[in-house]
Chain A
Amino acid sequence: MHDIVIAGGGVGGTVVANLLAEELAPEISLGKVRIRLITDRPEHVYKPAFLYLAFGRTAPTAYRRPQRELLHPRVELVVDPVLAVDTSQRRVIGDSGQAYAYSRLVLAPGAQVVPERTPGLAEAGEQFYTEEGAARLYRRLEGFTGGSVVVSVIGVPHMCPVAPLEMIFMLDAFFRQRGRRDQVELIYTYPINRVHSNPAIAEWAAPELESRGIRTETFFNVERIDPQQKVIETLEGTSLPFDLLIGIPEHAAPPFLESSGLTDAGWVPTDRHTLRVKGHEGIYALGDVTDLPVSKAGSVAHYQAATVAANLAAEVRGLPPAARYQGKTFCFIETGTDQATFVEFDYDHPPRPVRPSRWIHWAKMAYNQSYWLTARGVI
């Protein structure tokens, strides 16, 4: 019997499970294949909603769903946080003490934020990369009447590379709508010498920031934050005072991967085309947890899921795993509260942002709803 275990019930894990269950339905009926999804919570959370939560524009009922509802009936759901992967015995160990044997394993536990890696950040900074963080930021923004707001990209790589730009554009629109823009100074900082790691996106974003009166600081690598003085100190020797700091924290893979010997420099070493984990037989990885030079974005996890599912299905049938991921990425970029643009690119084709419009903003809003069909493997 083929025992396929998927660790992590986010975008990547859920879509792989559903595509596989659909594709391998005959084999599952015959008892030749079993698909188990092991995750750490009974509910599925749509993380991109946190950007809107920070402005009070969405609610938990819209971005949480029971994981079971999203899964094909043939997928077995196990809620048991993974503590370790024992690659020599081919089994996953859960927090309950239970061991889950696998013949094929898929790693899709995503990335976590680790603000504690930057001294002072957890005490003095806000962030919108977790549900609690975004809800707290909303309360701060509602009560913020004037002063300097700094959106600072501290950790690279981080989830959704365009989200910090979206945040600053949305802050600009938010304060304008409330008639408070003239009392607020908006500052955006980035570690390298342009406003985004991707040159084409940086080239597009720089004039957009300037036209909104948003100050930018580049070559800005946060070393520590002084919570008493409310000052950011950088590796470059500069300091920047703030009234409200929104920091994009450092990110990390869940700790069980490192202790199981499945990381290299913090992330899971993954073949950029086959999505096999390097140095381990029978293990695939996708989504935010890989070390690939692609965006940590839901669209990436979604496209990669098709490759992983096709390769696993082929292996089950004794065929060569021929599917290849080509680096495909798609991101909407909110440029305010009612306009957006988008970028689409892959390993060989750089992005070309188009002129922002209301229609693209509505397409993103529609996508936020249809996400639940994406997770089910329908679109």
Chain B
Amino acid sequence: MTQFAVDREIDARGSACPGPLMELIRAMKASRKGQVVALLSEDQGSKVDVPQWVEKAGHKLLAVEEDGNVTRFIVQKAR
């Protein structure tokens, strides 16, 4: 488990490509600076898309945790 305090957790498992990334983008839009969002995804594409977007958008990828098929991305809104 993570040591980060998560403000909002999004379960995007089973959501087809580009579902999980769009779910994260929507949540980040609705969050305030400093808040932490966790995203659960089963989509293999997320492993590339999510870190790329987080970098481009200038946010912080705090952790990526893998558990079997599921990846949990922990992202902090930095701007």
Contact = CB atoms under 8 A, between A and B. Distances in A.
Contacts, number: 38
Nearest to A202: B18
A141 B76 CA distance: 42
A318 interface: no
Interface in B43-78: 49, 52-53, 56-58
B56 A236 contact: yes
Interface residues of B, number: 17
A193 B29 CA distance: 17
Interface string A217-245: 00101010000000000011100000000
B6 interface: no
A191 interface: yes
Contacts of A192: 18, 21-22, 49, 53
Contacts of A156: 18, 22
Contact of B15 (A191, A221, A293): A293
Nearest to A157: B22
A223 B29 contact: yes
A183 B29 CA distance: 35
Contact of B58 (A199, A221, A236): A236
Contacts of A216: none
Nearest to A292: B16
A197 interface: yes
For A197, A199, A235, which residue has the most chain B Cβ atoms within 10 angstroms?
A235
Given A191-B22, A293-B16, A293-B19, A235 B29 contact: yes
Contact of B18 (A197, A223, A235): A197
Interface residues of A, number: 13
B28 interface: yes
A219 B29 contact: no
B28 A235 contact: yes
Interface in A186-230: 191-193, 197, 199, 219, 221, 223
Given A191-B22, A235-B28, A236-B58, A219 B17 contact: no
B70 to A, nearest CB: 18
A134 B69 CA distance: 44
A191 B22 CA distance: 8
Given A193-B53, A236-B53, 15 more contacts: A156-B22, A191-B25, A192-B21, A197-B17, A197-B18, A219-B52, A219-B53, A219-B57, A221-B25, A221-B57, A235-B28, A235-B29, A236-B57, A237-B58, A293-B15
17 contacts: A156-B22, A191-B18, A191-B22, A191-B25, A192-B49, A193-B53, A197-B17, A199-B17, A219-B56, A221-B29, A235-B25, A236-B56, A237-B57, A237-B58, A237-B79, A293-B16, A293-B19
Q: Which 9 A-B pairs have the closest CB atoms?
A: A293-B16, A236-B57, A192-B18, A219-B56, A197-B18, A236-B56, A156-B22, A221-B25, A237-B58
Interface of B: 15-19, 21-22, 25, 28-29, 49, 52-53, 56-58, 79
